[in-house]
Structure formats: structure tokens, C-alpha cells
Amino acid sequence: MMTIESRTERLIAVREFVSTLAREFGFGDEDISKIALAVDEACTNVIKHAYRHDPSQRLTITVRPGNDALEIVIVDNGLQFNPNDLQTPDMKEYLSHFKKGGLGVYLMKRLMDEVEYNIRPGMKNEVRLVKYLKRSPT
Amino acid sequence: MPNQSYPLTEEVMSDFKVLHRDSGRVSILELKGYLDAHTAPKLEDAIQSLIAAKRYHIVVNCKDLSYISSAGLGVFMAFIEDVRNNKGDIKLSNMSPKVYNVFDLLGFPLLYDIAKDESEAIKKFVQMAK
């Protein structure tokens, strides 16, 4: 588990932390990059939207190795935000209007096998990311 | 390509750099390191300065870009319309497969001109002017 203050400077350390554990778990370079990026996006959303860049706040990143999957849970105690507000259901429409922001949630869903939000206003917000280890057939 | 460019400014952060040089009407931004929510404002400032100077022919060379998150992609989204409305473009070049993959996941290759290398990107601007 890693706890960081709510500052974007810390994202690089989060990526290194998650990458190291993903490598130990057995993922290859491509999946490690995907996992690190997805966790970066989740933490960036917390820092920007839940904590609104308040560096006195903290968020935790917990990595749980399972049998065939790695689960990463990002927890904050910040403002609730509706992840659906950040969703971009139609990328064609989105790109044609040159909008900025909101790409993170879309990316997380493309990069990971499971993305799940557990929002409890005033208590804690949780994002759960799961990536399965694809074993090559023998 | 002959060495007709020269360094103008260098913006240094611990893990991300934007190097700016000009080649005729084309401005080249060379990105080095990690482009995330922390470092994206550096790129934002660099493109903003070019727009303020009415330099709308922009090549972003990604040769030494090791990482990009959506915060970095958002910077290109923020300026592309303005630049194209002024008959310019932001062309990208020298992307590693890892960085290209992130652009690809979001469908950006449909929207942005991604060249193999910097000279090809510059050539496209020259052809545009003809």
C-alpha cells in the first residue's frame, strides 16, 4: 500500500510503485504500461476532482495480487464526484468537438479489464481496477 | 536534413522538458521525459507562447517522450482548433510505439497528423503552403 499527498508531483512515484509490483506479479512490459497509465488516470482524477488540488489531503493506492489478476484500489475521502460526468460515451462526437478533459475515465476502461467505482459521499470514494494475467497456452 | 535550426528556449523540469527551435515558418517542440498531469502545464505554456507569437505551424517531436497520460493528450485537444482556424496545424512525429498506442486508444490518429519523423512533418507544412 502506498499513501501519497494529493499532488500531481507524486504521480511519477505512483507509476513506479505500481509498475514494480505488476512486474513482480508477472506482467510483461505492455501490460505494465497499461496498468501504470490507468492508475495514473485514477489518481489524477482524485487529485483534480475529489480533492481539487488540496495538497493537505491524502489518497491511498493498494495493490492486491490475486490468483490470476492484479487488483489496484485507489481510495480517497474527498468530494464525491460522479464518474459518469467524466465519461465520454461517444468518442467520435467527443473528438469532433475538440473537448478537453474527461479522457481519463475512457482510457482506464480501455486499458483495464475491470473498472469499478464505489462512491460513498462523506465517507470514502473507491476506484477498483483489475487486470488479468493472460497465460500463454502451453 | 541540414542543420538549419537553433535552440531558442529550454524549459526544464525534473522529469519533463520542452525544447523549442524554429525551422523557417515551422516551430518545433521537442518533448523529453514524462508528460502527465503534473508536467502538462509546461507543454501548455510552450504552445500558448507559439500562438501568442502567431506561429501556427507546429511540429511536436516525440522522439524522447517516454510517457503520456490523458492530461498530455488534453493539451493537444485544447489548442488544435485555434491553430487550425489560423490555417496552421499541430503535427506530431517520432512517436514510440508505447506513446502511439495511447493516442490510438483514443482515436487520435483520425484527428491528428502523425508523421514518421520530423522532416516528414515539416515537408507536409511546405506542401500545405504550395
Which fold, A2-132? Heat Shock Protein 90 (3.30.565)
Band the pLDDT of A120: cuts 50, 70, 90.
confident
What is the value of pTM for the model shown?
Answer: 0.87
Q: SS3 for A58?
A: strand
CA B11 centroid distance within chain:
14
Shortest distance between the Cα of A74 and any Cα of chain B, in A, equals 17
Per-residue pLDDT 10s for chain B (130 aa) are 444 444 444 333 468 999 999 999 999 999 999 999 999 999 999 999 999 999 999 999 999 999 999 999 999 999 999 999 999 999 999 999 999 999 999 889 999 999 999 999 999 998 877 7
Residue spans per domain, chain A = 2-132
C-alpha B9/C-alpha B51 separation (Å) is 15
Shortest distance between the Cα of A121 and any Cα of chain B, in A, equals 25
C-alpha B60/C-alpha B47 separation (Å) is 10
Across the interface, of B38, B73, B106, the residue whose CB is closest to A11 is: B38
Residues 78-137 of A with CB under 8 A from B: 91-92, 95, 98-101, 103-104, 106-107, 110-111
Determine whether the interchain pair A107/B70 forms a contact, defined as Cβ–Cβ distance below 8 Å: yes
Q: CB under 8 Å, gap of 24 or more: what pairs does A92-98 form?
A: A92/B107, A95/B106, A95/B107, A95/B108, A95/B110, A95/B111, A98/B77, A98/B78, A98/B80, A98/B81
CATH 3.40.109.10 fits B6-129, yes or no: no
Determine whether the interchain pair A12/B78 forms a contact, defined as Cβ–Cβ distance below 8 Å: no
